[in-house]
Structure 1
Amino acid sequence: MNTTISNNGLPKLPQANVSQGSSAQAGSGAPAGPADASASTAGGADKVNLTDSARALAEAARSGDASPIDTAKVERIRQSLASGTYQVNPERIADGMLSMEHQMAGTKPAAGGA
Protein backbone atom coordinates (compact mmCIF):
# COMPACT_ATOMS: atom_id res chain seq x y z
CA MET A 1 0.00 0.00 0.00
CA ASN A 2 1.49 3.34 -1.06
CA THR A 3 1.05 6.47 1.02
CA THR A 4 0.93 9.84 -0.69
CA ILE A 5 2.18 12.80 1.32
CA SER A 6 0.38 16.12 0.89
CA ASN A 7 2.11 19.49 0.71
CA ASN A 8 1.59 20.02 4.46
CA GLY A 9 3.58 16.89 5.32
CA LEU A 10 0.60 14.79 6.37
CA PRO A 11 -0.40 11.62 4.56
CA LYS A 12 -3.29 12.00 2.14
CA LEU A 13 -6.18 9.84 3.18
CA PRO A 14 -8.70 8.29 0.80
CA GLN A 15 -11.73 10.52 0.42
CA ALA A 16 -15.11 9.07 1.30
CA ASN A 17 -17.98 9.56 -1.10
CA VAL A 18 -20.21 12.26 0.34
CA SER A 19 -23.81 11.14 0.07
CA GLN A 20 -25.47 14.48 0.80
CA GLY A 21 -26.64 17.07 -1.73
CA SER A 22 -24.19 19.61 -0.25
CA SER A 23 -21.34 17.80 -2.02
CA ALA A 24 -22.17 19.62 -5.24
CA GLN A 25 -21.91 22.91 -3.39
CA ALA A 26 -18.56 21.97 -1.88
CA GLY A 27 -16.71 22.68 -5.10
CA SER A 28 -17.10 19.41 -6.99
CA GLY A 29 -18.70 21.27 -9.87
CA ALA A 30 -20.99 18.32 -10.65
CA PRO A 31 -24.72 18.55 -10.02
CA ALA A 32 -26.18 16.19 -7.48
CA GLY A 33 -27.43 13.06 -9.18
CA PRO A 34 -30.38 10.84 -8.30
CA ALA A 35 -28.21 8.73 -5.98
CA ASP A 36 -27.26 11.83 -4.03
CA ALA A 37 -30.90 12.90 -3.71
CA SER A 38 -32.08 9.51 -2.48
CA ALA A 39 -29.20 9.23 -0.03
CA SER A 40 -29.98 12.63 1.48
CA THR A 41 -33.61 11.69 2.03
CA ALA A 42 -32.87 8.23 3.39
CA GLY A 43 -32.46 9.67 6.90
CA GLY A 44 -29.25 7.75 7.63
CA ALA A 45 -27.01 9.23 10.30
CA ASP A 46 -23.49 10.22 9.28
CA LYS A 47 -20.63 9.41 11.61
CA VAL A 48 -17.09 10.78 11.66
CA ASN A 49 -14.20 9.29 13.61
CA LEU A 50 -11.15 11.51 14.16
CA THR A 51 -7.67 10.19 14.84
CA ASP A 52 -5.61 11.55 17.72
CA SER A 53 -3.52 13.45 15.15
CA ALA A 54 -6.61 15.07 13.66
CA ARG A 55 -7.82 16.06 17.13
CA ALA A 56 -4.43 17.58 17.95
CA LEU A 57 -4.43 19.55 14.68
CA ALA A 58 -7.96 20.78 15.34
CA GLU A 59 -7.01 21.85 18.87
CA ALA A 60 -3.93 23.67 17.58
CA ALA A 61 -6.09 25.49 15.02
CA ARG A 62 -8.57 26.53 17.74
CA SER A 63 -5.88 27.87 20.08
CA GLY A 64 -5.33 30.96 17.90
CA ASP A 65 -2.70 33.25 19.42
CA ALA A 66 -1.74 30.65 22.03
CA SER A 67 -0.22 28.52 19.25
CA PRO A 68 3.07 26.84 20.19
CA ILE A 69 4.36 27.61 16.67
CA ASP A 70 6.86 30.45 16.47
CA THR A 71 5.73 32.00 13.19
CA ALA A 72 8.70 34.41 13.10
CA LYS A 73 11.10 31.47 13.31
CA VAL A 74 9.16 29.59 10.64
CA GLU A 75 9.43 32.61 8.34
CA ARG A 76 13.20 32.94 8.98
CA ILE A 77 13.68 29.26 8.12
CA ARG A 78 11.45 29.60 5.05
CA GLN A 79 13.53 32.55 3.81
CA SER A 80 16.85 30.79 4.45
CA LEU A 81 15.61 27.71 2.58
CA ALA A 82 14.50 29.89 -0.34
CA SER A 83 17.84 31.69 -0.46
CA GLY A 84 19.89 28.50 -0.07
CA THR A 85 21.55 29.60 3.17
CA TYR A 86 19.86 27.09 5.52
CA GLN A 87 22.45 24.87 7.18
CA VAL A 88 21.60 21.39 8.40
CA ASN A 89 23.21 20.25 11.67
CA PRO A 90 23.30 16.42 11.47
CA GLU A 91 24.55 16.04 15.06
CA ARG A 92 21.59 18.00 16.41
CA ILE A 93 19.18 15.92 14.31
CA ALA A 94 20.75 12.68 15.57
CA ASP A 95 20.64 13.89 19.19
CA GLY A 96 16.97 14.78 18.82
CA MET A 97 16.14 11.41 17.29
CA LEU A 98 17.97 9.55 20.06
CA SER A 99 16.27 11.67 22.70
CA MET A 100 12.85 10.90 21.22
CA GLU A 101 13.71 7.19 21.09
CA HIS A 102 14.65 7.25 24.77
CA GLN A 103 11.44 9.11 25.65
CA MET A 104 9.32 6.56 23.79
CA ALA A 105 11.16 3.65 25.36
CA GLY A 106 11.09 5.23 28.83
CA THR A 107 14.84 4.88 29.22
CA LYS A 108 17.58 7.31 30.14
CA PRO A 109 20.38 8.06 27.69
CA ALA A 110 23.82 6.66 28.46
CA ALA A 111 26.22 9.04 30.24
CA GLY A 112 27.96 11.32 27.79
CA GLY A 113 25.46 10.54 25.03
CA ALA A 114 22.11 11.84 23.91
Structure 2
Amino acid sequence: MNTTISNNGLPGFAQATGSSKGSGGASTTAAPGGSGGTARPADDQLKLTDSARALQQAARPDDSAAIDPLKVERVRQSLADGSYQINSGRIADRMLAMDQQIGGTGKA
Protein backbone atom coordinates (compact mmCIF):
# COMPACT_ATOMS: atom_id res chain seq x y z
CA MET A 1 0.00 0.00 0.00
CA ASN A 2 1.41 3.41 -0.95
CA THR A 3 0.25 6.54 0.86
CA THR A 4 0.91 10.04 -0.42
CA ILE A 5 0.70 12.95 2.00
CA SER A 6 1.02 16.45 0.64
CA ASN A 7 3.23 18.73 2.69
CA ASN A 8 0.92 21.80 2.49
CA GLY A 9 3.90 24.10 2.22
CA LEU A 10 5.70 22.58 5.20
CA PRO A 11 9.29 21.35 4.87
CA GLY A 12 9.61 17.82 3.55
CA PHE A 13 10.35 15.04 6.01
CA ALA A 14 11.35 11.46 5.34
CA GLN A 15 8.33 9.21 4.95
CA ALA A 16 8.50 5.49 5.66
CA THR A 17 6.44 3.30 3.37
CA GLY A 18 6.11 -0.42 3.54
CA SER A 19 3.74 -3.31 3.78
CA SER A 20 2.73 -5.28 6.81
CA LYS A 21 3.11 -8.40 4.65
CA GLY A 22 6.29 -9.53 2.97
CA SER A 23 9.88 -9.15 4.12
CA GLY A 24 9.07 -6.77 6.96
CA GLY A 25 11.59 -4.16 5.78
CA ALA A 26 10.43 -0.62 5.16
CA SER A 27 11.93 1.64 2.55
CA THR A 28 12.37 5.32 3.20
CA THR A 29 11.63 7.92 0.57
CA ALA A 30 11.76 11.68 0.81
CA ALA A 31 8.53 13.61 0.95
CA PRO A 32 7.71 15.84 -2.02
CA GLY A 33 10.07 18.76 -2.23
CA GLY A 34 12.96 16.97 -0.54
CA SER A 35 16.17 15.80 -2.13
CA GLY A 36 17.66 12.36 -1.64
CA GLY A 37 16.86 10.34 1.49
CA THR A 38 16.67 13.26 3.89
CA ALA A 39 14.97 16.62 3.72
CA ARG A 40 16.63 19.85 4.81
CA PRO A 41 14.34 21.76 7.20
CA ALA A 42 13.58 25.37 6.36
CA ASP A 43 14.83 28.17 8.60
CA ASP A 44 12.58 28.57 11.62
CA GLN A 45 10.73 31.84 12.09
CA LEU A 46 8.67 33.22 14.93
CA LYS A 47 6.21 36.08 14.60
CA LEU A 48 4.61 37.51 17.72
CA THR A 49 1.18 39.08 17.71
CA ASP A 50 0.65 42.51 19.21
CA SER A 51 -1.00 40.87 22.23
CA ALA A 52 2.01 38.62 22.78
CA ARG A 53 4.36 41.60 22.54
CA ALA A 54 2.27 43.51 25.10
CA LEU A 55 2.33 40.55 27.50
CA GLN A 56 6.06 40.19 27.03
CA GLN A 57 6.59 43.90 27.74
CA ALA A 58 4.37 43.75 30.83
CA ALA A 59 6.35 40.79 32.18
CA ARG A 60 9.63 42.71 32.01
CA PRO A 61 10.50 44.45 35.25
CA ASP A 62 11.15 48.13 34.80
CA ASP A 63 13.06 50.50 37.04
CA SER A 64 9.91 51.91 38.66
CA ALA A 65 8.98 48.46 40.00
CA ALA A 66 12.40 47.78 41.55
CA ILE A 67 12.37 46.45 45.09
CA ASP A 68 13.47 48.99 47.66
CA PRO A 69 15.46 47.02 50.27
CA LEU A 70 15.17 49.82 52.84
CA LYS A 71 11.38 49.85 52.59
CA VAL A 72 11.29 46.06 52.83
CA GLU A 73 13.37 46.20 55.99
CA ARG A 74 11.11 48.93 57.51
CA VAL A 75 8.01 46.83 56.83
CA ARG A 76 9.70 43.70 58.19
CA GLN A 77 10.70 45.56 61.37
CA SER A 78 7.23 47.08 61.87
CA LEU A 79 5.67 43.62 61.47
CA ALA A 80 8.11 42.19 64.00
CA ASP A 81 7.44 44.87 66.63
CA GLY A 82 3.67 44.98 66.03
CA SER A 83 3.50 48.58 64.84
CA TYR A 84 2.43 47.82 61.23
CA GLN A 85 -0.93 49.48 60.52
CA ILE A 86 -3.38 47.95 58.03
CA ASN A 87 -5.63 50.39 56.20
CA SER A 88 -8.65 48.17 55.46
CA GLY A 89 -10.54 50.96 53.67
CA ARG A 90 -7.71 51.49 51.20
CA ILE A 91 -7.47 47.73 50.58
CA ALA A 92 -11.23 47.51 49.99
CA ASP A 93 -11.16 50.48 47.59
CA ARG A 94 -8.36 48.93 45.54
CA MET A 95 -10.12 45.54 45.46
CA LEU A 96 -13.33 47.18 44.20
CA ALA A 97 -11.40 49.11 41.55
CA MET A 98 -9.71 45.90 40.38
CA ASP A 99 -13.08 44.10 40.29
CA GLN A 100 -14.53 46.88 38.15
CA GLN A 101 -11.56 46.72 35.76
CA ILE A 102 -11.88 42.96 35.38
CA GLY A 103 -15.65 43.03 35.00
CA GLY A 104 -15.61 46.09 32.78
CA THR A 105 -18.40 47.66 34.84
CA GLY A 106 -16.79 50.91 35.78
CA LYS A 107 -13.84 53.22 35.85
CA ALA A 108 -10.71 52.52 37.78
TM-score by length of 2: 0.38
More helix per residue = 1
More strand per residue = 2
Comparing both chains, which one has the higher relative contact order based on Cα–Cα distances under 8 Å and sequence gaps of 6 or more?
2
Larger radius of gyration: 2
TM-score by length of 1: 0.36
